[in-house]
A and B are shown apart, each in its own frame.
Chain A
Amino acid sequence: MAKMDYEMPEALMDKLEELVDDGVDNMFSEMAGEAGKILYSAIKENIRKSFKNPDIFLRRCVITKVYTSDKGDPIEEAKCVKISFLGYIPGSPKTKNYPKGTPVSLAAAAREYGTSTEAKRPFMRVAVSGSAGKRAVEEMKKIQEKYFPED
């Protein structure tokens, strides 16, 4: 009768356990932080090309610090950064729906996705899918290699 022995990748499992003890969270935080910086910079560069008056959007486009996602987020306990638009467009009309004026995020979404009367000029999704996205992945790989050096 044929016989088979299984061997577990014990060295790798030990290394993983060691990393968890040492805070593997640091690796994911570093990855999210570095990738976020690259994408944030690419998005800002694209804002200059997509908007006639980019200043307000450049000022209001912000990146958070690295944080851990909560229950209810798409992935629980993931290390994340968020790039978003804050505030309102100064001098924009105050309406019933928008008593403080037009939210910068709404105007940014209209430019990203277009409207029934205005063509889209995507600046966020193309940053992620383009060369900046690839650079972000490369940077994350480098960080992974720092924590898991190839023997």
Chain B
Amino acid sequence: MQKNIEDTLSKVTLGEKVVPFARLHYTGKSPLFIVYSILTELPEVCSDDTPETSVVTIDIDIYAKVLQNLIETVKSVKIRFIEAGWTWIDDSPEIFENETGFIHRTITFEKERMINSWQQSV
């Protein structure tokens, strides 16, 4: 799952530059970055009391100092994740952080997967 998300994120660009990203916490200095996290994973289809598929929900958090860069990156994230078979669930409100000057928006996606891949590490 991590590979799938990171492969998709590595195609998210602003101009020709890939937007830097990290899982859970970004420690770099870029004025534009993405943090992703797995929100939940819930069993969906079960047979013989055993889950066969699960639905993974992920958050893609975009932080930008410039509003236009945030807007462009949100667009690029949606295009890339939908291309990769994810379903767009919703967007958070835009939040301005007074202390850091970052504008922040969360985009949530979901994807169903077979349980044999659930047994692999997320």
Contact = CB atoms under 8 A, between A and B. Distances in A.
The answer to whether A and B belong to the same complex is yes
A112 B92 CA distance: 10
Contact of B39 (A115, A116, A117, A125): A125
A129 interface: yes
A130 B97 CA distance: 29
Pairs A-B, 7 closest by C-beta atoms: A113-B106, A116-B102, A116-B63, A113-B92, A116-B100, A115-B97, A129-B40
Contacts of A53: none
Given A122-B39, A130-B42, A113 B104 contact: yes
Identify whether the interface residues of B are mostly helix, strand, loop, or mixed.
strand
Contacts of B37: 120
Interface residues of B, number: 23
Interface of A: 95, 97, 106, 109-110, 112-117, 119-120, 122, 125-126, 129-130
A109 B98 contact: no
Given A109-B93, A116-B97, A126 B40 contact: yes
Contacts of B102: 115-116
Contacts of A119: 24-25
